[in-house]
Amino acid sequence: MTTISTIENDPASGQPLPAGAVLLRTEPDRNCPLCPRLAGFREAARAREPNWFNSPVPSFGDPDGRLLIVGLAPGLQGANRTGRPFTGDFAGDLLYATLLEYGFAKGIYQARPDDGLTLIDCRISNAVRCVPPQNKPLPAEIGSCRQFLSATIETMPRLRAVVALGRVAHESMLKALGLRSSAAPFAHGAMHPAGALRLYDSYHCSRYNTNTRVLTPEMFRSVFARVRADLG
């Protein structure tokens, strides 16, 4: 039988793996060089704001959770600054309030990684781990970072539901799951069965989308209400 091990939690890290084991890297190195443009942007941010996180932002939450939320990429002054997904900018205000409302989080969200907020049965990650200029990663960058998304999925043994926030997260999830876009087109509120998983689509909870009413808080809550009803 194949054993799946991760670099983060492998107790024998640095030791030879057991025969048949597969090592999955769920978190990139702090200086991941795979996207030269993003690495350069990261370095410039480190020089400009040495007290910010300015590194690939790790997933947050419960690896044994049944729900995974996949965003686009860290916001410059949000997760890239604080080091926790969706923490410190407008998108996090709506996301964490909604997770608290539907029982996927507990505590008080205070927009800081040390606010004590914990996720319940839930994990949050991003399709692209490094902050991109203008929030727009290039297709090659999304492709390079998918290995970490795929590893994250494969190392969540109880995973049953994925909420993709926006089209980029949706498309990257489809590729990670080996599904064709034509079989599961992105649409807010849609649910796509994918084997043992269900992929739910939502418009991204960005300030732009909410200011323009592309996404209302009610529309966002309806996605998580359905996930909660399905997961029980």
For the bound state, the minimum distance from the C-beta of residue 141 to ligand SF4, rounded and expressed in Å, comes to 5
| Residue 127 binds ligand SF4 (CB under 6 A) | no
Q: Is 71 left (phi over 0), alpha (psi -120 to 50) or beta?
A: beta
Give the C-alpha separation, 173 to 168, whole Å: 8
Give the C-alpha separation, 216 to 226, whole Å: 16
Identify whether the C-beta of residue 172 lies closer than 8 Å to the C-beta of residue 207. no
For the bound state, the minimum distance from the C-beta of residue 225 to ligand SF4, rounded and expressed in Å, comes to 32
| Residue 125 binds ligand SF4 (CB under 6 A) | no
| Residue 123 binds ligand SF4 (CB under 6 A) | no
Exposure b/e, 10-24, CB count within 10 A at least 16 = b: beeeeeeeeeeeeeb
- For ligand SF4, the binding residue among 67, 70, 124, 145 (CB under 6 A) is 145
Give the C-alpha separation, 96 to 171, whole Å: 23
- For ligand SF4, the binding residue among 82, 144, 206, 210 (CB under 6 A) is 144
- For ligand SF4, the binding residue among 34, 165, 184, 215 (CB under 6 A) is 34
Quick one: which segment of 44-52, 127-135, 152-160, 186-194 binds ligand SF4 (CB under 6 A)?
Answer: 127-135
Please identify, using beta-carbon distances, which residue of 58 and 223 lies nearer to ligand SF4.
Answer: 58
